[in-house]
Chains A and B, each alone.
Chain A
């Protein structure tokens, strides 16, 4: 059962533009929402994460927006750069039940120079 849905599947933006990736979840028990960045041939690496008690978290050019009532969260990449070209995964965790990451399907981002 797919518990985290991610869109779009692929995204192309111009350098300097804003990249937006959306995720929706079903299980209200999730209490931690990380985003991972994966380059070809590498494992995923934690980018930024949020808990549902806040609506937004910003780290540099990366921002997570969280809407608890809609069970949705999104990643915004400001001033996108060619080096941001990678696959991005949202994920969700029930921390009180161990730390199994439930991943979305992934978004392949291409930033054109």
Chain B
């Protein structure tokens, strides 16, 4: 079974630029999560989807971050405009259903200069 796929794996941008990350969850997984992992810290949930509906986006900085999950499969996370403090690894995870084991992708490492 293929795991969670993410791209790109690395991205370097200047502050105030825009960036987008893509995630393809495990086939059949209805729930999709985006986490932000700052160096030396544990991952923090940004947004959770159930199919193509948002379940939890309480920790998403909505003034600059947006995410969508069209057709309930792939998802994109966008940052516009990026700040220095957005430098982190952005992890995507999926689970078959809410309350089931979350499987993480390898992450996208973002560096904002």
Interface set of A (CB-CB < 8 Å, partner B): 4, 6, 41-46, 89, 91, 95, 98-101, 103-106
Contact = CB atoms under 8 A, between A and B. Distances in A.
A105 B104 contact: no
B24 interface: no
Interface in B66-110: 91, 93, 95, 98-107
B45 A105 contact: no
Interface string B43-55: 1110010000001
Nearest to B42: A103
Nearest to B97: A99
Given A42-B106, A44-B91, A101-B45, 18 more contacts: A4-B42, A43-B91, A43-B104, A43-B106, A43-B107, A44-B43, A45-B103, A46-B103, A89-B43, A95-B99, A98-B48, A98-B55, A98-B98, A101-B35, A101-B43, A104-B42, A105-B41, A105-B42
A47 B105 CA distance: 15
B29 to A, nearest CB: 12
Nearest to B105: A43
A100 B107 contact: no
Given A44-B43, A46-B102, A104-B42, A98 B56 contact: yes
B98 A99 contact: yes
Contacts of A89: 42-43
Contact of B31 (A43, A45, A99): A99
Contacts of A95: 99
A100 B104 contact: no
